[in-house]
Amino acid sequence: MPVAIEVKGLVKRYGRLTAVDGIDVAVPSGTVFSFLGPNGAGKTTTVEILEGLRRATDGEVRVLGLDPWADGAQLHRRIGVIPQDFRFFDKLTPRESIEYYRALFGSRADPGHLLDQVELRDKEGARFDSLSGGQKQKLGLALALTNDPEICFLDEPTTGLDPHARRSIWKVIRTLKQQGRTIFLTTHYLEEAELLSDRVAIIHHGRIIAAGTPADIIRAHGRPPRLRFDAVPGLAEYFAQHLPYRVGTEAGRIEVELPDARAAAKVLAAAEASGLPWSGFETAQDRLEDVFVRMVGAMDEGALRPEVAP
């Protein structure tokens, strides 16, 4: 698969602050890549270097084979961008905004079609300052698509949106992928990253601490699956005495780690054999968010070193 974005040893310094500290990223064409990390980790800095809006301090950056800083004019015709906290002219309507972008890019995209694609047709004549947060983001997406881009850079496109509005942006992102476009997404919603992305990278203090498919990262850094029970007096002790598995408590509930699939049957058999009134049984599996919170927390405590992405 051809590579749409390739970054090697990227460094960005602002004075004495090293915001991006030697990262490597490769995004194959036609895939969705999510860049995750806490506030101030270096995501927007990286995205804007890829877009040719900020200049790298060091390292190699290629986007569609171009150097974003040196070949910006060429690149900007081929990419679509929603900046973090997208804003636009208050007095323009969505239709006028798209017309304006069409003129800028010499694009022949049909404004009605773009507005349909982002589900904003009903607001085509409303002024920007009267749109809701989600409607503004949808307009941002429509503008990003006006020049039929090969790569879309979406910096937190769903921040602050209600669950329904977020899902409608997800739908657009899936459609963009089906159309063969490459998506570079940043988000603080880990569930969203897990659902949409082919690959993700977690950046913290300017360094990548994990990278791969969401499943790879969960497998490599997550805890084993667990069975949970309500905390019944004596049950945790019974499990600890009668099972060869790790037993703990989380949020006031008992958790038994399952090293393999057969372990679940043994745990349930032990619950029955205990004679105790066990209840509230459910399975627990780490999601990307659990892994993210634990890894970032461990790094902040100095217990984890940044690793080279697989």
Ligand X SMILES: Nc1ncnc2c1ncn2[C@@H]1O[C@H](COP(=O)(O)OP(=O)(O)OP(=O)(O)O)[C@@H](O)[C@H]1O
Q: What are 6's strand-pairing partners? A: 26, 62
Residue 207 binding result from ligand X, Mg ion, none, given CB thresholds of 5 to 8 Å by partner type? none
Q: Which is nearer to ligand X, 15 or 244 (CB)?
A: 15
Residue 61: exposure state from Cβ atoms within 10 A (0-12, 13-18, ≥19): buried
Stretch that binds Mg ion, among 27-35, 79-87, 118-126, 136-144 (CB under 5 A): 79-87
Q: Does 42 bind ligand X (CB under 6 A)?
A: yes
Cβ(246)–Cβ(213) below 8 Å: no
Count of residues near Mg ion by CB under 5 A? 3
Count of residues near ligand X by CB under 6 A? 12
Q: Which is nearer to ligand X, 19 or 165 (CB)?
A: 19
From residue 75 to residue 104, the character string flagging contacts with ligand X as x (rule: CB under 6 A) and all else as - is ---------x--------------------
Q: Which is nearer to ligand X, 33 or 245 (CB)?
A: 33
Q: Does 84 bind Mg ion (CB under 5 A)?
A: yes
Q: Which is nearer to Mg ion, 84 or 168 (CB)?
A: 84
Stretch that binds Mg ion, among 41-49, 172-180, 206-214, 224-232 (CB under 5 A): 41-49
Among 7, 21, 32, 37, binds ligand X (CB under 6 A): 37
**Which residue's CB comes closest to Mg ion?**
44
Q: Does 46 bind Mg ion (CB under 5 A)?
A: no
Q: Does 19 bind ligand X (CB under 6 A)?
A: yes
Stretch that binds Mg ion, among 38-46, 99-107, 139-147, 157-165 (CB under 5 A): 38-46
Residue 1 binding result from ligand X, Mg ion, none, given CB thresholds of 5 to 8 Å by partner type? none
Measured CA to CA, the distance from residue 271 to residue 269 in angstroms comes to 5
Residues that bind ligand X (CB under 6 A): 14, 17, 19, 37, 39-45, 84
Q: Which residues bind Mg ion (CB under 5 A)?
A: 43-44, 84
